[in-house]
């Protein structure tokens, strides 16, 4: 409960500083998309950071810069360079570990003005169903879709 209240306080405080907050969930060993975009058509410099100010990725003048990338992210971060022209600066964080849980910031800087997208990532263990090796979260969506279709057909 305290963690939830703290997250709400962080988001409310940072909303005053042009920050967008969202919660994301990922699973150990898999990948997660960390979204980031801008509505300004000008070329942006983008700085991805974790809550300890560790560098995930910098995008400077439309080019990825991995020079200062923190070692814990080496080989695990990718972006979509062909999407930069569409002002999409999202990244994928691969091979998730429980230690990847935390707050991530995407700072988009245009003409010395900074807009930040802040997200809280929670990484969970994938729950395996005994016998078939399928994680329970992979069954949830098809089950919900089938349930919805059943209701539509029924009524």
Highest mean pLDDT among 14-18, 71-75, 125-129, 143-147: 71-75
C-alpha distances out from residue 63 to 30, 58, 79, 80, Å: 26, 8, 10, 11
Q: Order of strands, edge to edge, in the sheet holding 32-34?
A: 32-34, 91-93, 77-79
- Residue-wise pLDDT for 67-113, tens only, equals 999 999 999 999 999 999 999 999 999 999 999 999 999 999 999 99
| 20: nearest Cα among 108, 144, 131 | 108
Question: Which percentage of the chain shows pLDDT scores above 70?
Answer: 71
What whole-number distance in Å separates Cα of residue 74 and Cα of residue 87? 24
Q: Which fold has domain 2-124?
A: Immunoglobulin-like (2.60.40)
Q: Region of 53 please: left (phi>0), alpha (psi -120 to 50) or beta.
A: left
| 93: nearest Cα among 60, 49, 125, 59 | 49
- Provide the residue ranges of all domains of the chain, joining segments of one domain with +: 2-124, 128-155
What whole-number distance in Å separates Cα of residue 108 and Cα of residue 77? 18
Q: What is the pTM of this model?
A: 0.72
């Amino acid at each position: 409960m305290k963690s939830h209240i703290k997250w709400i306080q962080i988001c409310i405080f940072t909303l005053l500083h042009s920050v967008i907050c969202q919660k994301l969930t990922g699973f150990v060993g898999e990948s997660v998309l960390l979204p980031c975009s801008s509505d300004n058509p000008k070329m942006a410099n983008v700085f991805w950071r974790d809550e300890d100010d560790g560098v995930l990725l910098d995008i400077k003048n439309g080019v990825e810069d991995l020079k200062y990338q923190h070692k814990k992210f080496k080989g695990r971060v990718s972006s979509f360079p062909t999407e930069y022209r569409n002002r999409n600066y999202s990244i994928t964080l691969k091979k998730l570990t429980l230690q990847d849980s935390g707050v991530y910031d995407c700072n988009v800087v245009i003409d010395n003005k900074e807009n930040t997208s802040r997200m809280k990532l929670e990484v969970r263990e994938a729950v395996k169903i005994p016998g078939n090796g399928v994680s329970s979260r992979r069954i949830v969506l098809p089950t919900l879709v089938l349930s919805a279709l059943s209701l539509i057909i029924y009524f």
